[in-house]
Amino acid sequence: MPRHKMLARVMLVLGVAAIAAAITPARAGEPDIDKLAGVYKKTFKNALVSGEKYQSENILEIVKVSPKAAYIRTHLEFSNGHLCDIWGLAKLEGDALVYRGKTNSQDKQCVLSVKAADGKVAFEDKEGACALSTCGARGMYNGISFELNRRRTIRYMKTLLNSDQYKESINEFEGRPKTRP
């Protein structure tokens, strides 16, 4: 085989191997938290029932805490000023980061999954239990996603790490009592 053809094959094999290494999760089925960590934002037009228009922004923050856990916080906006706000430490479970929160008024535990698939980071709120206690009437997590290519570095990390939400999440995760009533 001519040298230039062999060199071309070697380059092709190395290129394929590099791409495979870049997209393969840390373990089979587990996402690589480093590839998800960052801030995702989506700005869009919204409206009140009166017809008045305004600008909204959905935000998702993911901060790696360990190889198997990440702090997640999201703020979602819906029509008529309704919101969803949730934060906590999520553990890797299979192919998703899963936050297990408190039991709601219907005696269902909040189980919120954050999963990357098809170029998006999407939420799954098992039985809508998280939305019941953390969202307004029009709010929900199911069906909400962010484009993976919109991920940005968190430039306000010092502020985030000093926030009450982050501190509360670490304390809850480690089984310590809340620092605020």
How many structural domains compose the chain? Answer: 1
Residue 56 counted as domain residue = yes
Within-domain flag for 21: no
Strand 83-93 to strand 96-103: parallel, antiparallel, or no bridges (unpaired)? antiparallel
Q: Is residue 150 part of a domain?
A: yes
87: containing domain:
33-173
- The amino acid at residue 170 is I
Instruction: Establish if 69 belongs to a structural domain.
Output: yes
In a domain, 178, yes or no: no
In a domain, 22, yes or no: no
User: Could you tell me the end-to-end alpha-carbon distance of the chain, in angstroms, rounded to an integer?
Assistant: 75
> What is the mean pLDDT for each group of 10 consecutive residues in the chain (181 residues)?
48 38 47 94 92 94 96 95 95 96 90 96 94 92 96 97 96 72 45
Residue 47 located in a structural domain: yes
Q: What is the pTM of this model?
A: 0.79
* Domain contains 17: no
Q: For the purposes of burial, counting CB atoms within 10 Å of the CB of 106, is it exposed (0-12), middle (13-18) or buried (19 or more)? A: exposed
